[in-house]
Amino acid sequence: MKKLVFATGNAHKIAEVNRLLDGFYEVVPMAEVGITEDIPETADTLEGNALLKARYVYAHTGMDCFSEDTGLEVEALGGRPGVHSARYAGADKDAAANMRKLLQELEGQLNRRARFRTVIALILDGKEYLFEGIAPGHIATAPSGKKGFGYDPIFVPEGHERTFAEMTADEKNAISHRGKAVAQLVEFLQKQASGK
């Protein structure tokens, strides 16, 4: 079975994609192919960062690989935090501080529309492909729920009353930005693997 390097160290993400690609590809973390350093994310778009990481892995290993970048885009803030979502309140990636900063900026704001967006960059046989998943919704006025990570406790997806952090992993994956982008990636890779 062909190996596909995922430019992440997140074991949960690796396991999730491996389940979906079972029998087609073996997804391995970048540490398994000798990349243990943090890959700089210096682009000003999600697409740019996803491509930076994938190109880094490909340049160092020559192996098929993919990476993703995700951001929360808030309409009233002109799309912020966007590409800076993980480090919105500072370089230490403090999720609670990020949420506090975002809620303070939205205080008194009636338009709380927002969306999560994930971009996956795939390099397969030297060719680059991009896949995008979007989850529309709005920002709650206070955090709620203990599941998930990042901004999940304050993001209520469209058509739902609960935040991502109040949903089970299966409920969230069925409607999430990352779930949608991964589904596109999986469909593409299955077609490639079966020669269609």
Q: By C-alpha distance, which of 68, 85, 82 is closest to 30? A: 68
Catalytic residue chosen out of the listed positions 69, 92, 125, 152: 69
Q: Is residue 38 flagged as an active site residue?
A: no
- Reduced 3-state DSSP string for 107-154: CCCCCCEEEEEEEEEEEECCEEEEEEEEEEEEECCCCCCCCCCCCHHH
Strands 2-6 and 25-29: parallel
Q: By C-alpha distance, which of 49, 142, 58, 158 is closest to 100? A: 142
Q: Where are the beta strands (DSSP E) in the chain?
A: 2-6, 25-29, 65-74, 81-82, 113-124, 127-139, 155-157
Please give the positions annotated as active site: 69
